[in-house]
Amino acid sequence: MVNVVRLLIWLLHQGIKLVTGLRPQSVEIEPGTVVNMWVPSQMINGGHYKYKKTKSKKPSVLLIHGFAGEGILTWAFQVLGLVGKYNVYVPDLLFFGFYGSATSSPDRSVEFHSECLAKAMVKLGVEKCGVVGFSYGAILAFKMAQFHPELVSCLVITGSLANNTKSIINPLLQRLGFSSVSDLLLPTTPEGINDLLSAGVHINIWFPYRFLQDYLKLMFSYRQERGELLQKSVINDEDAVHFNFQQNILLLWGEYDQIFNFEVAKKLKEELGQRAILHALKDAGHLAQLERPLLYNKHLKEFLACNLSPN
């Protein structure tokens, strides 16, 4: 029997290829570590990167997905909105996606994962880029900005904190009715998928049981590795870092985010200081970029236009 979700994602990928020209490209970070990256087709020549010969005048934008999806599924609306003026790069994070993003390294730290993304961008010839991160991807975006200010020109963050400490995460899980981060983000039943999707959106959407079954079968491979990533992403309070970012930061937040509510976003804005601005997206939850794509893209484009210059 055909997996309905696989078919829908295949059709989405084909549409993105046709309309935007982006193509999936495997980037070897080191032996045993490969990141799949959707890149502009003009940057590829016969399967090889063209960056040594050609420099694009367009600014570059990196879009980093969250924990329950993959790159294009998360950012399709933003890719469509940005490709006219930007070189858009969309990775499938390690142990996510369908094109072989994985590593033989036992390191599951946020630092290692973000370093892989930074190295992938450098290998693709990108010298400067804006980084847009959602949920778990936003944690990686913060780390990239911290350790590679020469690469990251500006940050856009949706639905995550710079420090996911236990004192913040544990009450959040209790409020949502989950005993651990893995129970929330690595469901094992169609009902668990429904709970996760319901927590992510503001508008009440009914999902057919067949869709939930197929989503579970398709989107939750590498369970052990993803569980280890989750474990490393939540830190003790004493290990929290005070960030002093050089970049301007846009916080784009769903007004009705059930996971990290808008009060959390306000506190994050205060912690980040004057370089950060916060916009509430009305009638949107955690998955704001999917629920309100036109409004999301409006704020995103305005911010990038003011903070990105050509490579």
The class (CATH top level) of 4-51+58-307 is alpha beta
Q: Which of 10-14, 72-76, 182-186, 306-310 has the lowest mean pLDDT?
A: 306-310
Q: How many CA atoms, within 13 angstroms, populate the side-chain half-sphere of residue 118? A: 20
- For residues 250 and 59, what is the distance between their CA atoms, to the nearest angstrom? 17
> What are the boundaries of each domain within the chain?
4-51+58-307
pTM of the full predicted structure? 0.95
- For residues 227 and 13, what is the distance between their CA atoms, to the nearest angstrom? 27
pLDDT at res. 55: 62
With tokens 């020109």, the residue in question is 153
pLDDT confidence of 311, banded at 50, 70, 90?
A: low
Q: Which of 9-18, 196-205, 298-307 has the lowest mean pLDDT?
A: 196-205
Q: Is the pLDDT higher at 243 or at 35?
A: 35
pLDDT confidence of 54, banded at 50, 70, 90?
A: very low
Token pair in block for residue 222:
């590498």
Nearest C-alpha neighbor of 163 from the set 263, 239, 214: 239
Q: Confirm if 125 and 53 have CB atoms less than 8 A apart.
A: no
Token pair in block for residue 211:
């869709």
pLDDT at res. 133: 97
pLDDT in tens, 181-190: 998 999 999 9
pLDDT in tens, 220-249: 999 999 999 999 998 888 887 778 899 999
Q: Which residues contact 53 (CB under 8 A, 6 or more apart)?
A: none
pLDDT at res. 289: 97
Alpha carbon dihedral 134, 203, 173, 6, in 10-degree steps, equals -60
Q: Is the pLDDT higher at 172 or at 90?
A: 90
Nearest C-alpha neighbor of 76 from the set 141, 11, 149: 11
pLDDT at res. 116: 98
- Strands 60-64, 87-92: parallel, antiparallel or unpaired by DSSP? parallel
